[in-house]
Chain A
Amino acid sequence: MKRISTIALTTFAAAGLLMTGCDKKSGGKGISLQNVGSDTMVNLAQAWAEAYHGVKPEVAVEVLGGGSGTGITRLIDGTCDIANSSRKLEKEEEEKATAKYGGKHPIEHVVGFDALAIYVHPSNPITEISIEQLSEIYKEGGKFAKWSDLGVTMPAGQDEIVRASRQSNSGTYHYFREAVVGKKADFKKGSRDMNGSKEVVDLVSTTPTAIGFSGIGYKTDKVKVVKVSKKTGEPSVAPSIKTTLDKTYPIARPMFMYVSPTAKPEAEEYIKWLLTAPGQKIVIESGYVPLPEFAPKDAQ
């Protein structure tokens, strides 16, 4: 009796603490695919899943956010079929996954692109910013803490830069660290680490002195997107489908989907559909950048 209750309890506690509520149940005749990960991609993935229901009603794609790191961890643990990630799988994660699946690799697909947008409050007079300046704002030991350090005079008088960032399970966080802050550098302490892309945009929209980064798909009327240049003094570029695809916008990145080696064949079939014209049209509608061959004519 003692042993049983201890086992039951440990399992229960483990389930609760690890928060892994995802199992591969396929209810009735239908087939369900677990699609977990990137918060940048969650709205897009949701739109895809809904549209796919019209194409293949017997396949239900269940989309869950939580961040790229969460999706990849679940892929490694074998508790999802497709992981969404706004960053590439790290070497260590790749090794872990291959070890788990007996030498088989998760299959990587590029399903679209995202221009990582730099958001500020509409009242902020700044129009362009360089990667160097962003790095000084965000990195540990960086010099810029006030808007006047960048030569910007804030209309309302408050000068301190309020940095909005993301929690470390976010692929956007990892990408930004690698592409902007510096490969071996860390973030400055004291940034507001938000739970999702939408929260970053919300914070920036209500805080005149804030700056934040998130996928371009989260742009609203209440925030301003600034142009970005590689180095201070170089011409700056606004994020768009064109500048993302011709790689002139410096902080654009592919959006990945990783399919588990043990996933049902329907998973690959689903990805194949995402890479057709109807699937890629949804990418544009969600505010992101499609694969080059599906881009609108004027952007090619």
Chain B
Amino acid sequence: MTGSRSKFSTYGEKAIELLIRMCGMSAIFFVFAIFFFVFREGAPILASKEFGLGEFLTSTDWYPTSMSNVRFGTLALLMGTLSVTGVAMLIAVPFGLGAAIFISEFCTGKLREILKIIIELLAAIPSIVWGFIGLTVMNPLIQKVFHVPVGLNVLNAGILLALMGIPVIVSVGEDALKAVPDSYREGALALGATRWQITWRVLLPAAKNGLLAAVLLGVGRAVGETMAVLMATGHSVQVPHSVFDSCRTLTATIAAELGEASEGSPHYRVLFLIGILLFTITFIVNLTADLVVKGIRKK
């Protein structure tokens, strides 16, 4: 009896360990394989004569299917992505951090549980549904409220992305605030600080790294979002000059055009190159978030 048991524990444990190890390693394979695949499809265009990296990064002319003068400038698309993300963060950061502070510090019991569940529900709404809301609800609303000709614009997409980013910011932000030791709160209380003074002067400085990470994760979510922005931005190639201008993002361009670009054509390769560009942006954002979180742990 004991013999068979130890046999099981030696072999069984090893097998399980191997399995778990493979699960962990597979993530590395996935990342590298995806990177390899995207790069393999996109990179050959870099050597081609008709393509200039300078034009790709600095021109606003995106004419991939022109019959006379094909131009692959992505600056307008990049500005579209950045402006939509910027507007989204202007809205999501105060609301997200405010909600995180409220849930973590100011509310207790049932209300807190209900709030947490509802905010998590917000994260579960598929992006196509957000896009639909942008198209059918926000579009006429923005037209009416601001008296602009078209409601499919940077503001519309920015608000949608803010709503999609808020759950991320709230849950990560709340964790960061929870990680501040209670002795900080008790100490401040003992010094006669009010609740608001504790939050503003003690908790926020103590949790600032975690809160920054929360914001950066929200940014990553916004940069990569596709379906909702495809529907809500108006899909118009131009550098937006105000929040009421339509624009087009990098992700939406890939989604809209990959279906028609035949495999191996310059258009197809440039779309993958845009993928690499996006990959680079989100990689930088995530890496920053990661380094910042590491910063907290050292403290």
Interface residues of A (CB under 8 A from B): 1-2, 5-6, 9-10, 13-14, 17-19, 66-67, 69-70, 72-73, 76-77, 96, 158, 160, 162, 167-169, 174, 177, 183-186, 189-195, 203, 206-210
Contacts and interface: CB of A to CB of B under 8 A. Distances in A.
Contacts of A192: 150, 152, 234-236, 246
Nearest to A163: B236
Residues of B in contact with A, size category: 35 or more
A73 B259 contact: yes
B113 interface: no
Nearest to A193: B235
B238 interface: yes
Q: Is the interface of A mostly helix, strand, loop or mixed?
A: mixed
B237 A19 contact: no
A6 B64 contact: no
Contact of A13 (B34, B235, B237, B256): B34
A18 B38 CA distance: 11
Interface of B: 22, 26, 29-30, 33-34, 37-38, 60-69, 76, 139-140, 143, 149-152, 230-231, 234-238, 246, 248, 256-263
9 contacts: A70-B260, A73-B261, A73-B262, A186-B63, A189-B76, A195-B256, A206-B140, A206-B143, A206-B151
Interface of B is mostly: loop
A177 B143 CA distance: 30
Contact of B33 (A10, A17, A184): A10
Given A18-B258, A70-B259, A167-B257, A186 B150 contact: no
A195 B22 CA distance: 42
Nearest 3 interchain pairs by C-beta: A69-B260, A169-B260, A190-B238
B153 to A, nearest CB: 10
A195 B259 contact: no
A248 B26 CA distance: 64
Contact of B259 (A5, A169, A186, A190): A169
B77 to A, nearest CB: 11
A199 to B, nearest CB: 8
Contacts of A162: 149-150
Contact of A189 (B61, B69, B140, B263): B61
B149 A17 contact: no
A86 to B, nearest CB: 13
Given A73-B259, A190-B236, A210 B61 contact: no
B259 A194 contact: no
